[in-house]
Structure 1
């Protein structure tokens, strides 16, 4: 389980409140892998681009362990939140964000991530501790420190690699700024396009197709109104993704 306690002076703290715990999906995944149950062993939290990211350490209990503390692997997953109280979290994807190493590797049994992220204009990195035995312990235990690096915003993506383009429409947002940016990696022959819809659902602007591996590309517009004229209005964005990973978009 992961609890939240906050302080404004690092002396007086609020009572801990439950934020994240293992649920039925975690239990089903654990049993499907031959385990008994799954628990959130710990969860470092990171402010990132106006939201909160977290890497819950998922402990799959498989047996009593050599020392009676419970045996099984621990791997980090991904959680996100827009809740300033850090109590409401979303975990739509349950795959390890940082998988264990191959059997026999120094990090093939447990991974614990650090409490900070390192960011550059093109990458996000996190240091982690890896162990060659699981939580139950055992002979020959050793640990080392590693560094995992993703492209900026590259933790997850909206991917379409099928025969037909896929579309996704955002919730209504109040438009501010003058330019739309994308972080996307488009496969050969694919593209990403964006339509801007007004409050009534009418398309008011259509972008030119984006191709290639673009960490930060500013959209150009094939037709429609000037985006600056939409300032203060409620709009939605409809992406058409054809053979691409769409990582993020933002307005500047």
Structure 2
């Protein structure tokens, strides 16, 4: 009845080529329709022991910020982190515009939990060079990233950071600009002779992602040109890190958003770009004495955003939080700020989400919170479990777009969990042209062996067949039936 049979002149559409890659379900790339199901964003579980890095030495002041980078070295497996720290005493006495006000600090770890402060001996701080300072003098809002092989003559790593101290070539130009540096080891850095590479305010996380598919660098920054508020998300790209495209406003600020979209570090995850969107909550008339009804003025949390190309972004319609502020407390470092930090790290079946926590409020509400404390915190997710398609005990259905069953596919695997007597079943339907929607004999819901439990990788089975070989190379649709279940991803094997 609900098929396309009888259309003798129907032109088949272009099916989605999914291969054997896990298909996450937060967008409409493979999802065609939901009936009785909703999407759920899942918050990572915070490490109960608290931050993994806090201030332990005078040169770390009140602690590191989330304005930095964490990555896992592909050759050694070692975790590496670069972040900036401001000297609060110097800033109070001399302001931010002096060389000793901001520093870059380097940390490393074997397990991502216990972090070392290598004694680099490069810069004097608080009367000694026995510290982990790798750069000093006007450095802030830094981001370190690995370079593709074609640029290894300049170094293995590059870093973009704000550079408020370097005088502009023209006195009429402002001091809001950015510099580029290169390094072979991530510790000893050389300024690019082309500096400064960019003028324009972007005093937040300046995240650069290399896209090997297009061989370009993608810079997520602030919208210097705006409608009166710079705290928006903008995008620019470059082939050589020197010449950049004119920035575009990337993330539309709408009626559901708080006053400020503060920044957005971006990580690659499989075929997706995932963004940690910072939301700063402040009443527009806070300085006139008005406050938000929920009392969140000055707090910053993180929302999850996603994109297939790094340029066109989507978010959940209800704007759920991804990394939330903890309740204020003596041991809580993130009750004021909870800001995700690129890059997310895949470690076996676990995804590690590092984030910067601050135990104080953002201006203009900061006067109500003292003293200032900062730390780098850790939360974790199970593999692929950022967003699920969920149905409660009333049940629901998810239908995919027409997809090509890979020529060598024998099995359909799911990442799913159920509760109580819940289940996941799947029917296979035709997906091409006039056959679209047809139900092949033996592949209906009745023949689907129900999945129950909580597994990252399980094989769906049918009572009539042990293999999907009958559909190899054909265009099909997957029709999932869920009850008290979460479906996170599926893949062919």
TM-score between the two structures when normalised by the length of structure 1: 0.86
Secondary structure of 1:178 counterpart: coil
Change in Cα spacing, 1:39 to 1:22, as seen in structure 2 (3 Å) is farther
Match of 1:6 in 2: 237
Match of 1:124 in 2: 351
The alignment covers a number of residue pairs equal to: 234
Mapped contact 1:178–1:251 kept (Cα < 8 A):
yes
Match of 1:89 in 2: 313
Q: How does 1:199-210 map to 2 (within 5 A)?
A: 199=431, 200-204=436-440, 205-206=443-444, 207-210=448-451
Tell which deviates more after alignment, 143-152 or 224-233: 224-233
Q: 2:362 matched to 1:135? A: yes
Q: 2:251 matched to 1:20? A: yes
Change in Cα spacing, 1:64 to 1:87, as seen in structure 2 (3 Å) is farther
- State which of 369, 372, 377 in structure 2 corresponds to 1:146: 377
Deviations 1:183-239 (A, max 9, x none): 111112111011111122123324311011111112122236952232332211111
Mapped contact 2:305–2:314 kept (Cα < 8 A):
yes
Match of 1:227 in 2: 468
Change in Cα spacing, 1:225 to 1:181, as seen in structure 2 (3 Å) is closer
Highest RCO, 1 vs 2 (Cα 8 Å, sep ≥ 6): 2
In structure 2, how many angstroms separate the alpha carbons of the residues matched to 1:222 and 1:7?
53
Match of 1:213 in 2: 454
- State which of 151, 162, 166 in structure 1 corresponds to 2:396: 166
Q: 2:262 matched to 1:48? A: no
Task: Give how far 1:12 is off.
Answer: 2.1
Mapped contact 1:21–1:39 kept (Cα < 8 A):
no
Secondary structure of 2:311 counterpart: coil
In structure 1, how many angstroms separate the alpha carbons of the residues matched to 2:260 and 2:305?
14
Q: 2:339 matched to 1:112? A: yes
Tell which deviates more after alignment, 89-98 or 143-152: 89-98
In structure 2, how many angstroms separate the alpha carbons of the residues matched to 1:246 and 1:230?
22
Deviations 1:139-194 (A, max 9, x none): 211111110101111122122223x2211111222221332111111112111011
In structure 1, how many angstroms separate the alpha carbons of the residues matched to 2:470 and 2:259?
51
Mapped contact 2:426–2:479 kept (Cα < 8 A):
yes
Secondary structure of 1:9 counterpart: coil
Deviations 1:39-62 (A, max 9, x none): 211111121121211111111223
- Structure 2: gaps spanning 5 or more residues: 1-231, 289-296
Task: Flag the structure with larger Rg.
Answer: 2
Deviations 1:24-53 (A, max 9, x none): 122xxxxxxxxxx43211111121121211
Match of 1:38 in 2: 259
Alignment RMSD (CA, Å) = 1.9
Secondary structure of 1:229 counterpart: helix
